[in-house]
Amino acid sequence: MRLGTRRSALALAQAELVAEMLGGAEIVPLVTGGDAGAGPQDKSRWVDELERALRDGRVDLAVHSAKDLPTELAPGLELLGAPARAGPEDALCGCADIEALAPGSRVGTSSLRRIAQLRSARADVEVVPLRGNVDTRLAKLGSEQLDAIVLARAGLQRLGREAEAGALLDPSRFVPAPGQGALALEGRAGDAAAGEAAAAITDRATLATLLAERALARELGADCHTPLGAHARVDGDGGLRLRGWVGLPDGSAWAGDEQEGEVTRPEELGAGVAARLRAVGAAELLRSAREMAGDGS
């Protein structure tokens, strides 16, 4: 089995984890348009070369950070599975509590969703653009006069750096990105061997949560310029709960909703939460958010 992956340290660590689950596999590192700084400014730039490699037979499965995978896949490709999820929460590094930040503190992130949620929670802090891989961002915490930065907990876990997190942000308030913490296994439709391999290491609860979150994002037309959070979890009684959140990058307005559905019908739940969000103005919020992002706000 040949596993396609991006070349970043985190992507390679994730591919190695999948290879270990499979009992061994060849890892094929590839450079995507996003890695090269080229291509359209949407999620497809992070998966373009991986999907080309699948379609021309260079790899059998592509291992993605699920939050990077577009809701619409390239023709002939399918989401074949998802291993057990790591922590979906956002982590605050450099400070032990979001409320402990002094007014005027500088907090680093370039995620529109995180910017919107930080500003809605703490309008008195300054949000500073921060890009790069996990190691680069952590290094900038000490070198660019930042008081804190926000990263995905899962990335810290998979790189063995979870101790860098001062606090985990409450996912009911700081709703994670759709798919955050999960790995998505993409393959060719009809490839029985790849399908069986992916199914063997798929965690059913994780796949259900991922499908619900992706359905919510798809129904709302989410893209890289969408401050959207979607967090699903399987309750102790076996039900599936999904929370959705949309907001403006300046933190001035937001909407959220949470509903419960059947774990066997996750996409129906995602569509239902999306409909309820649209009913309270989510479409208008997202349109305004895109306009603000286009203006560089």
Task: List 186's β-bridge partners, or say none.
Answer: 62, 79
- Max Cα distance, the chain (Å): 56
- Here the tokens at position 263 are 């774990």
Catalytically annotated residue among 48, 60, 68, 191: 68
Q: Which residues of 249-287 are buried (b: 16+ CB within 10 A; e: fewer)?
A: bbbeebbbbebebebeebbebbbbbbebbbeeebeebbe
Task: List 152's β-bridge partners, or say none.
Answer: 90
- Here the tokens at position 60 are 């059998």
Task: List 228's β-bridge partners, or say none.
Answer: 246
228 near 178, Cβ under 8 Å? yes
Give the distance from CA 256 to its chain's centroid: 18
- Here the tokens at position 25 are 């596999």
Matching residue, tokens 């591919």: 15
124 is catalytic: no
Q: Beta strands of 138-179 (E only): which ranges?
A: 148-152, 165-168
- Here the tokens at position 124 are 């008195």
| Active site (catalytic) residues | 68
